[in-house]
Structure 1
Amino acid sequence: MNYSDVIISFMVVAVIGLIIIPLPSTILDFLIIINMTIGINILLITLFTKSVLEFATFPTLLLITTMFRLGLNISSTRLVLTQGNAGHVIDAFANVVAGNNYIVGAVIFIIITIIQMVVVTNGASRVSEVSARFTLDAMPGKQMAIDADLNAGLISEDEAKKRRKDLQREASFYGAMDGASKFVKGDAIAGIIITLINLLGGILIFSISQGMGVGEALDTFGKLAIGDGLVSQIPSLLISVSSGIIVTRSDDDSTFGSAIKKDFFPNPLIAGIVACVLFIIALVPGFPKIPFFIMSGVFGFIAYKKYEKEDLEEQRMVERRQELLLLQKEKELEEDDSVSSFQVEPISIEIGYTLIPMTDDSIDNSLMKQIINIRKQCAHELGVLLTPIRIRDNLQLGPNDYCIKIKGNEVARGEIYPSKFMVINPENDQLNLDGIPAKEPAFGLDALWIDEHDKDVADIHGATIVEPVTVIATHLKEVIYSNTAELLGRQEVKHLLEGIKDKYNVVIDELIPEIMRLGEVQKVLQNLLKEQIPINDLVTILETLADYGTTTKDVEILTEHVRQSLKRTIVKQYLGEDGVLRVITLHPEVEELVSKSTQKTTSGSIPVLKPETITQLFDSINGVHQELTTQNVQHVILASPTTRLTFRKLISYNFPALAVISLNEVPNEVEIETVGMLSL
């Protein structure tokens, strides 16, 4: 049993009881102090929260505290009108704030009420309304970003579920705050009415029934009404300020104090200029010199400490770079002159010197950890165990450049800024950000490198924000997936077979070396990977090779047999959301033409067609493909089993992402829908 639920339930019911049950002044004093304590505590909580989700119960708590204050108002009004006294706390507030002049107290009460209603509550309500709308508008983009991180292997399934849930909770929070702010405004209006009732009711009741003079009654109940109003409105103002703070907070994983420290003094030059301006003002005749000199000295000291800190960080970065270079040189000196020492790596990354800190394994989101996740995802999705990816610094590269090499040859290059964030597709009229135009290296999308202080603006408008390490990791993942076949050597194939040999030794012993050599198995696996077909169902692949390897040694024919055995795996990735396979068919004339022009060479089956025929065919493919892509229709080309491979080779260079499957590779239970036809 959760005792906290029981306690809270009794407390909420007790708040309603305050409206009905008369309270002695002693208990009322204690409850008023509790009300003030709650207001101070809520204000401090909002200052120390890092995200609105850490205080998601605030809208409900706002309602309960409002009802609690109104209950206290009613209890104090009952005491004022019946006894002419409302306890020590209200009396103390009346005497301390108002002094001997209740008119001063009334003015202060009115000012506090106006500040709460006109400034704080209205502003918080408007911010909540706008934040709720922007949060809802940005939800599809943020959902896509979460799905992209999940697909890239940067986050786990549990983390993705948590982020989606937090996104929904954030939208619900701002929507609830939009309505909850009306409670505070109503509370302020009720406070004004109750204060007037205390003043007028007390004067009428005690001057008529108790024989008190009008002047004495006005003095007595003027102070009591103002004291009661201040006791109620001050906690209400604290909670109103708390609501304004929490809805205007940006989700930057830092407390309010830490964010102010970082944002208020971003550049030592700014603090230095402020110090100089204050110093010059102090020299002007007629201005008070000491306060201006003091503030000038304070800002001068802040500027000096900021410059000192930046110099220290730059020095540490240089020292860190020198240490890494020294360790690299020492490691190279320790290596012997064996053959393996000068062989190229299957895949490696070279980085400029400003990117070296990103490889530090001690930080949470380092490049090393991202690479580990990519290797795991590659093994899970494609069934390939990659060799460790080596990272080297290269002084010949630009400070922000990196390049990806496969077997010592550069295949991709990019430029990132470690201190900035990439905003993808910033073509939004509402965005007006300064940054460095760029292209997202993995997919070639328009992008912009922005500073951290512009990150919240881009996030509010639904732009996709990517960290620098994620940019490299995504680019590396795409390069790996495009060149997996080249990375699968005989050693890697042997490693895969040894991994399943304990459970499936029969099929391996039957196949290798009696029916096929290891190199022939490697060629089949490479053919599958070239068309993005996973090889994690090794048992089915090996059994199919064992079945047909005795009748043919042609690797292409064996690959086609394996594809038919993996038909569910192949078709699954091309099905639409409704489970329908949408295909582009070949006109019989095209089928016959490709079939007749196929020639067998040492590099496999290739079509020999006239250039003008190829141009006509490519124009037809491009027209249908572009139209379906514009309509966001996922599709493949469906060919006969005899022409599938030849046709795929024909279009592979011009349309590498367009899959070609045969009728034999479509399971019987899959529904096929024709969405186009290729003809000459």
Structure 2
Amino acid sequence: MNSLAGLLRMPKGMLDAKQFKGLTGPILIVLILSMMVLPLPPFLLDLLFTFNIAVSIMVLLVSMYTMKPLDFAAFPAVLLFSTLLRLSLNVASTRVVLMHGHTGPDAAGKVIEAFGHFLVGGNFAVGVMVFIILVLINFMVITKGAGRIAEVGARFALDAMPGKQMAIDADLNAGLIGEDVARKRRAEVAQEADFYGSMDGASKFVRGDAIAGLLIMIINIIGGLVVGMLQHGLDFQTASTTYTLLAIGDGLVAQIPALVISTAAGVIVSRVATDEDVGSQLTGQLFSNPNVMFLTAGIVGLLGMIPGMPNLAFLLIAGALVWMGRKGLQRIAAIPSAEQVAAEQAAVQTQNPDTAEATWDDVALVDPLGMEVGYRLIPLVDQSQKGELLGRIKSIRKKIAQDIGFLVPVVHIRDNLEIKPNSYVVSLKGVEIGRGEAFPNQWMAINPGQVSGTLAGTPTQDPAFGLPAVWIDGSLRQQAQILGYTVVDACTVMATHLNHLIQTHAADLLGRQEVQQLLDQISKTEPKLTEDLVPKVLSLSTLHKVLQNLLEEEVSIRDMRTILDVMAEHAPTVKDATELTSLVRLALGRAIVQQLFPGDSEVQVIGLDGSLDGVLQQAMSSNSGIEPGLADNLLRQAQAAIARQEQMGLAPVLVVQHSLRVLLARFLRRSLPQLKVLSHSEIPDSRNIKITATLGGRV
């Protein structure tokens, strides 16, 4: 009411197009309800009946061209409005038929006369049969089937929501998508469930409309006979003929648009969401197999040769199918197979070798970061074939730059005919750091550890984290999500694996050029800091080594201002990169702890036994290293402590004295990379520490 009063108080000319659209719905409802009460002239009835037919055709065409149901999310509301419009027109036309039907067949307008006279030839018996058939088709076939599909779709959409939400969270955690995209996808998942639920209820409107249309026709016939004979003095034959044709015309002009709308509802809920509309799906899948065309042509041709059959019609259809089959064979022959493409490329490479003199242009530098794919994975990286991997990699580089503080090099992608067709290899400076397989037409169902069933498919492992997984067909996707699997496509598998490898090898990807670019970026806002520090006090090589040390222990270098401040303070007296790294970690302690233990909760960590602490202090002071027996026992206890931390849902973190942190971090990093080693000095005083496990108790 307040918004409506505000609109009424606005000066003339202030209603823009958006506000006018907002008033369209209420105005339309008022007009529809007014038609049930106010008498309408025949000409206006003609316009409204024509508008109803046009709207129904428009809705059907829109449903045919939608790619997925949510592209026409307003369809349940459209279904309700169109049903109300038809019922209102029925009421208005009934009033006119009963009041003025005795004047002739055009008493309720030319549209009703045309449907009642020309479409059924003026034969009311034929009209009644046609009308009943239309009602049965609409009520028992189309509407009932669409309603059942909508009901099942709503049930499966609700059951699949947890799995879809987990897949979105997995993409967000892997850096494949941003928070805005994740929020949009979550909204789409909820909208999909709401849409099918609304369609399940909206289909009841159409079924009720069909019943109402049948009852309205009966009322029009009986009421017309009573009014015509008792009030206007018509004989039985004249009254029955006149009012029956008017009732039939009124019923047909309402039921035909209702049938069209019901068909649109069936199209919306029965189609499978792809990148093609319904017409493209039908022509591309129904008539794409030449063998099917030839077999159908043979069967139809044999039927056409049976005596007494309409030979011409059958043989014409058989000939058309043969022609379509030949066209399909020509189209398939014109498309080379993947194996042929690979063979032709290999032949071109071996023929006509270049005999020119070698130059420096022939020296190819090693790519800092590269990916080689088999020929069956080329569609995933080819933008002309709508490959999504390049876009995913751009998002990964942007997300990693925001997380760790520098822009990783561009990933150079090329095909490699020497590896398996479905394989891919990720290399760092020419050395392989990861390998996996992906199947573009299948989905990987990853077992997060709490699934409620098994799936038919090819067992495998998630290449990024080593979780058990299964490659499944697209038809089992919803079933896998219901069972609790995290289901991702081949492109997501490759992107997640690449993201994990980049974060693992971030220190190796940070070169001197990237460090210089970081300094150039800082100099835009802090020019004096960089000019006085590098290279006057601190060399670029030392700064590079400090930043690599931080990245090796998965410490973000986003806070370059704090890092350079520490360097400026201590670099004049401290030249060792390892000592400078420890000093920088002390300054970044709050951020490091926040990354491992978000919020202000208690820091629950693994500690060292006092006796083991003393032994390690003595070994470090004498530079003798950790003896083998002590090292093996320490590793076993650390593994057990990590398992307990993970069972409690805590980060595996070991807290030691500041002087021991570097020694233990280097020792444990190779065998237990998931274990992070902090010093007591790095933990802020505001955070409480709780020791959940102790290493060295039995040493």
Distance apart, 1:459 and its partner CA: 7.7
Which range moves more in the overlay, 556-565 or 339-348? 339-348
- TM-superposed deviation, 1:19: 0.8
Structure 1 residue 626: Cα displacement = 4.1
Q: Distance in 2 between matches of 1:523 and 1:136?
A: 52
Q: Secondary structure at the match of 1:660?
A: strand
Alpha-carbon spacing, 1:594–1:301, altered in 2? closer, same or farther (3 Å): farther
Alpha-carbon deviation of 1:388? Answer: 3.3
Q: Find the partner of 2:679 among 642, 652, 662.
A: 662
Q: Quick one: distance in 1 between partners of 2:258 and 2:546?
A: 74
Q: Report the equivalent of 2:53.
A: 36
Q: Distance in 2 between matches of 1:305 and 1:24?
A: 56
Q: Distance in 2 between matches of 1:105 and 1:331?
A: 81
Distance 1:209 1:349, change over 3 A: closer
Q: 1:193 matched to which residue of 2? A: 215
1:105 pairs, out of 127, 144, 161, with 127
Letter in 1 for 2:329: Y
Alignment deviations for residues 391-415 of structure 1 (CA, whole Å, 9 cap, x no partner): 3433321222221122322221122
Cα-to-partner distance string for 1:642-668 (whole Å, 9 max, x where unaligned): 333333334323432232323332334
- 1: CA distance, partners of 2:350 / 2:170: 35
Which residue, 75, 97, 104 being the options, matches 1:58? 75
Alignment map for 1:70-469 (pairs within 5 Å): 70-84=87-101, 85-99=107-121, 101-282=123-304, 288-314=310-336, 337-338=359-360, 341=363, 343-362=365-384, 364-365=386-387, 367-425=389-447, 436-449=458-471, 464-469=486-491
- Which residue pairs with 1:46 in the alignment? 63
Q: Which deviates more, 496-505 or 310-319? A: 310-319
Which piece of structure 1 moves more, 261-270 or 519-528?
A: 261-270
Farther off after superposition, 131-140 or 353-362: 353-362
1:639 alignment partner in structure 2: 656
Give TM-score scaled by structure 2 length. Answer: 0.85
Partner SS for 1:653: helix
Change (3 A) 1:662 1:26: same
Once the two structures are TM-superposed, the CA of residue 461 in structure 1 deviates from its matched residue by: 8.2
Q: Please state how far the C-alpha of 1:20 moved relative to its aligned partner.
A: 0.8
SS in 2 for 1:580: coil
**How many residues are matched?**
674
Q: Write out per-residue CA displacement over residues 90-116 of structure 1, whole angstroms, 9 at most, x where no aligned residue.
A: 233223444454333223222222222
* 1: CA distance, partners of 2:686 / 2:348: 62
Counterpart selection for 2:604 from 583, 586, 589: 583
Which runs of structure 2 are paired with 1:585-604 in the superposition (5 Å)? 585-589=606-610, 592=613, 595-596=616-617, 598-599=619-620
Secondary structure at the counterpart of residue 376 of structure 1: helix
Given candidates 621, 624, 627, the residue that maps to 2:647 is: 627
Give the structure-1-normalised TM-score: 0.87
Structure 2: runs of 5+ lacking an equivalent = 1-14, 102-106
Amino acid at match of 2:604: V
Quickly say closer, same or farther: Cα 1:463–1:255, change in 2 above 3 A.
Answer: farther
Change (3 A) 1:585 1:568: same
| 2:638 is the counterpart of 1:618 | yes
Return the letter of the residue paired with 2:677.
Answer: V
Residues 573-599 of structure 1, C-alpha deviation per residue, up to 9 Å, x if partnerless? 2235x6525422315347526634643
Question: Cα deviation per residue 1:467-502 (whole Å; 9 max; x = unaligned)?
Answer: 434433322221111111122233433343344345
Amino acid across the alignment from 1:223: L
Once the two structures are aligned, what percentage of the paired residues are identical?
Answer: 37
Question: Which of residues 566, 575, 588 in structure 2 aligns to 1:544?
Answer: 566
1:531 to 514, 532, 553: 553
Contact 1:142 1:462 in 2 (8 A): no
- In 1: Cα distance, 2:358 partner to 2:444 partner: 42
Cα RMSD for the two superposed structures? 3.7
Hey, what does 1:652 align to over in structure 2?
A: 669
Amino acid at match of 2:592: I
Measured after TM superposition, the shift of residue 339 of structure 1 is 10
Check conservation: 2:642, 2:652, Cα contact below 8 A.
Answer: no
Aligned equivalents of 1:458 and 1:557: distance in 2?
51
How is 1:426-575 mapped onto 2 (pairs within 5 angstroms)?
436-449=458-471, 464-513=486-535, 515-575=537-597
Deviation at 1:238, TM superposition (A): 1.4
In 2, Cα distance between the equivalents of 1:301 and 1:624?
70
2:362 and 2:519 map into 1 onto residues whose CA distance is: 24
Q: Is the 8 A contact 2:379 2:386 kept in 1?
A: no
Structure 1 residues 71-96: Cα deviation after superposition (integer angstroms, max 9, x where no partner): 11111111222222433322332234
Residue 62 to residue 153, structure 1, CA distance change in 2 (3 Å) = same
